[in-house]
Amino acid sequence: MKAMILIACSFAAVASASGQSLLSSPQASERYAAERSNQQLMRIKALEARGKADNYESFRATKLDASSFNFPATKRVQSQAIAERRAQFQNITINETAINLAALGFDASDVAIARRAGIDLAEVAHHVFSASSTPQEQVLLADTVVVARAFPDPIQSTRQDGYLSELRFEVMKSIKGTSLQGDEISIPLRSGTNPDGTILTVTSELSVVPNDIYLLILSKNWYQQLVIESGKNPATQESASLFSAYQLDDDNALLHRSSDPIFGGAFRSVAEVVRVSDAQSDALHSKD
């Protein structure tokens, strides 16, 4: 989620007071644009390393619709220079969303199919990566949704992906994705013991009750992207980044347990999540 927050900050910059300052300062705006362009080039190289370059190129060929982003309307007359800088910043945001969609495994044909079904994938991605998504939007972008039992305690392990520990789960039911019942899947954590023996605790990370059952909304694609962007190698064990997590109570009701903000109301039952996932799959795979 840390990377999502960083991306959200870049999305929000232009609309904020600091964004207005950027627009007014040629030097600051040039530095910002150069930094974002360099970061995006690094992210595109990670896509290439993952074999997702064609996904990204498909977006460059068709271009995402700016109407998906609800950019603030201009309320007063601007100089040509400020108007050009505003357009440049908006293009940075649009390109960031194209990179994110490609990282998650989507391409321009997916966006077109979704649009015919009344779903704007670019808008959904913009919501997810600006920390303003609904649970339904999280399921849409996730590649893995499972009901799983938590293993006892976070596992300190020597991981090659830069994380210090992990939460490990046994899949009990697969709602979306390729994980099967009985498979193990881990959520990597930044919390843990550093090589020098110091302890790092990230309070926003998920904690679980050993042996309790959770509904997990995950992305294996996003995990792979984050790790390769950081210059590390993905773990050999099945790992995924967390979008959202719910604990099942004694009555099998869902209790939201992760730190992601909830917009539009949390899921209440596993059956509701199954219905949402199935409806999305039907819409995105319809031949009409």
Which segment of 23-32, 188-197, 239-248 scores lowest on mean pLDDT? 23-32
- Chain mean position to CA 246: 17
**DSSP E strand stretches across the chain:** 144-150, 155-156, 165-176, 184-189, 192-193, 199-200, 213-219, 241-248, 254-256
For 12-40, what is the mean pLDDT? 71
Tokens of 39: 């970061």
Q: How confident is the model at residue 181 (pLDDT cuts 50, 70, 90)?
A: very high
For residue 20, pLDDT beyond 70: no
Torsions phi, psi of 242, nearest 5?
A: -90, 125
For 266-288, what is the mean pLDDT? 91
Which is nearest to 140 in space by CA: 157, 128, 130?
128
pLDDT single digits (tens) 39-64: 999 999 999 999 999 999 999 888 88
CATH no. of 136-284? 2.40.50
Span(s) in the chain for CATH 2.40.50: 136-284
The whole model's pTM is what? Answer: 0.88
Which is nearest to 187 in space by CA: 209, 205, 167?
167
Q: How confident is the model at residue 18 (pLDDT cuts 50, 70, 90)?
A: very low
> What residues does 170 pair with on adjacent strands?
149, 184
Which is nearest to 187 in space by CA: 232, 211, 157, 230?
157
The pLDDT assigned to 156 comes to 64
Q: How confident is the model at residue 154 (pLDDT cuts 50, 70, 90)?
A: low
Tokens of 145: 């949704």
Q: Count of H helices and E strands in the chain?
A: 10, 9
- Chain mean position to CA 224: 12
Q: Can you say whether residue 246 is alpha, beta or left, with left for phi > 0 and alpha for psi between -120 and 50 degrees?
A: beta
Residue type, 156: Q
CA 52 to CA 221: how far, in whole Å?
Answer: 10
Q: Which of the residue ranges 24-38, 191-205, 231-245 has the most confident prediction, judged by mean pLDDT?
A: 231-245
Q: Which residue has the higher pLDDT, 270 or 71?
A: 270
Q: How confident is the model at residue 27 (pLDDT cuts 50, 70, 90)?
A: confident
For 105-119, what is the mean pLDDT? 94
Sign, CA dihedral 236-240-245-249, equals: negative
For residue 227, pLDDT beyond 80: yes
